[in-house]
A and B are shown apart, each in its own frame.
Chain A
Amino acid sequence: MKAVCWMGKSKVETLSVPDPTLLNPHDAIIKVTKTAICGSDLHLYDGFIPTMESGDILGHEFMGIVEEVGKDVTNLKRGDRVVVPFTIACGNCAFCKKQVWAACDNTNANAHLMEAAYGYSGSGLFGYSHMMGGYAGGQAQYVRVPFANVGPLRIESDLPDEKVLFLSDIFPTGYMAAENAQIQPGDTVAVWGCGPVGQFAIASAFMLGAARVIAIDRLPERLEMARSIGAITVDYSEQDVDVLTALKDLTAGTGPDSCIDAVGLEAHSAELQGVYDAVKTTLMMETDRPIVLRQAIQAVRKGGTLSVPGVYGGLLDKVPFGAAFGKGITMKMGQTNMHKYMKPLLERIEQGQIDPSYIISHRITLEQAPEMYKIWRDKKDNVTKIVIDPWASAFNQEQLPTEPEDRSA
């Protein structure tokens, strides 16, 4: 089959690899009908997440048709149409029973690596480093799904793929970010980052009762999209704009009730602290660039809540913990407990409350994926979300940037 493989920092290739096979009794093989590139895949592309190995198949947002099931899979059969959550959960450990699915004890096949780094291991993830399990991802024509009785959500209706695909990660992730923000009716919520997770966090904050949402980014297409769903936008790259001042101005000097960091470890800043973090990460004296985190702690009102759906990987420098303590804020974060949110959010889609496909800007083939990783990383071509059809041919796609060069001549 064809698959998108990580071949080193800033190096992604579409390769021919062996088809997946059933390895355990609760496995299923899914024929992937749609998959997507996630903003967090860019952290892998940029080499920020350790324990990647060349040859790793990327991709943790995917859906498809069940091709084959292992002997102990009882609630899926060949031909079922499913969306697969990016976190893998066993359903039986103490954490799964408490609905903290992303903390599953039993699905990380390399738990010792994460234990060494984080103290305890979370669940395994698809296509997201060996520390997180070493499972092959879904930017491929087929994918193996372990613990298939627990994760995959069957889609019984005829909703098109593009409306349900984002139940695999970013819609539940944006929703949990808003839930973690502990929004009370009438609250003002600030969201840093208007990429896909930020967009769904904004939409979900409104669903959960926010009166106002303030959205912060620098890319015009994203800010436009945030305004289209009702947010007030702040472009931090505009001259004379200071985010902390803007948030005070927009909240009568009080600060937002809740702040959501939907950016994570690769935040950008043109200011001095941006240079400071760029230098320190380059010298490997710091692993992450916590610019948004610092700002959000500083910005949130006294007794407010900070929710962090953005990915952080390691050790952070100069985090104003004194401010966090001094204001008595609450911080909630972590990988999404996918299995808790997929079904209720599918119902919201079925009822027409939200159509998550509005964020899609690019529809591509597997062959185009390597180029699109670069284009999205470099924030070109107004990318908001890239969806891959693994079975489309490169030659009948309208958005094909350029045809492959003929090198035979």
Chain B
Amino acid sequence: MSVPLTEKPNAENTPKSSSAGVIINGHYAPPPQDKDGKIWIRTSALIQGSPQELYDIWRNVEFIPSWQEEIISVIATGEKTSHWAMKSGDKTIEWDSEVLADEPGKRIAWRSIGGESENAGEVIFEPAPSGRGTIATVLQEFRMGKLASAWETFVGRNPKQAVIENLRHFKAFAETGEIPRAQGSSHGDRGVIGGMKESVYGEKIPTPPGPNQPVS
């Protein structure tokens, strides 16, 4: 055996395992694959802000319509439970949700407990190496057939992409106090092809209002 290199001026302790199963036994593990009617998405972002600040924004359930796409309202129904309403295509779907794990400044896990959406997920906040901000990792699962998922993609946003976009909106809000918005920009006549492109590019899904009053 050769002598291991020992000079590592800035190295930090390597985690043997990390949240959301990104590292297991010191080895990278890919995100869970869709199987048995469950679809999975794992996504993460580097956010300038402390884990506690970010946790506080996320845990404020009634504020969630300000930064998550298509969520019409979230009403806290108990310390750990809430009632959600979401726009899906032309209709509104509703469900109840409960918090399964609540570790202030670190982690929130939840699952739906009845209603028109079956989902479960967690968000983990941990300091990035060298104090370069906070890593927010979301692991979310939907119980949804491939057909239903394709339908969602067709009428609006692919559910996996929605989770990615919501984390992006969360980061923008946490870092800047608003969510970037091009919808409502001045433009000339889009015509038929321009309008089709807007749909294909996902520009017809309303950008969440952020700090603005929701447009009803």
| Chain A interfacial positions (CB closer than 8 Å to B) | 1, 3, 5, 7, 13, 15, 17-21, 23-26, 51, 53-57, 72, 90-94, 97, 105-113, 124, 130, 133-136, 140, 142, 144, 146-147
Contact = CB atoms under 8 A, between A and B. Distances in A.
Interface of B is mostly: loop
A3 to B, nearest CB: 7
A133 B133 contact: no
B176 interface: yes
A53 B179 CA distance: 22
B76 interface: no
Nearest to B184: A23
A25 B181 CA distance: 11
A94 B193 contact: no
Interface of B: 46, 48, 132-133, 161, 164-165, 168, 171-172, 175-191, 193-194, 197-198, 201-203, 207, 210-212
Contact of A106 (B175, B185, B187, B194): B175
Nearest to B191: A54
B212 A25 contact: yes
A366 B161 CA distance: 40
B185 A134 contact: yes
Name the residue among B165, B185, B191 with the largest chain A CB count within 10 angstroms: B185
Contact of A133 (B178, B182, B188): B182
Given A3-B186, A94-B48, A130 B165 contact: no
A142 B182 CA distance: 16
A113 B201 contact: yes
B188 A13 contact: yes
Given A1-B186, A57-B187, A90 B175 contact: yes
A17 B203 CA distance: 20
A17 B201 CA distance: 22
B180 A54 contact: no
A144 to B, nearest CB: 7
Contacts of A20: 185-186
A133 B180 contact: yes
14 contacts: A24-B210, A53-B194, A53-B197, A54-B191, A92-B176, A106-B175, A109-B182, A109-B207, A110-B182, A112-B202, A113-B202, A134-B201, A136-B186, A142-B186
Contacts of B198: 53
Contact of A57 (B133, B168, B188, B211): B188
B176 A54 contact: no
A72 B181 CA distance: 15
B201 A51 contact: yes
Contacts of A146: 180-181
B181 A23 contact: yes
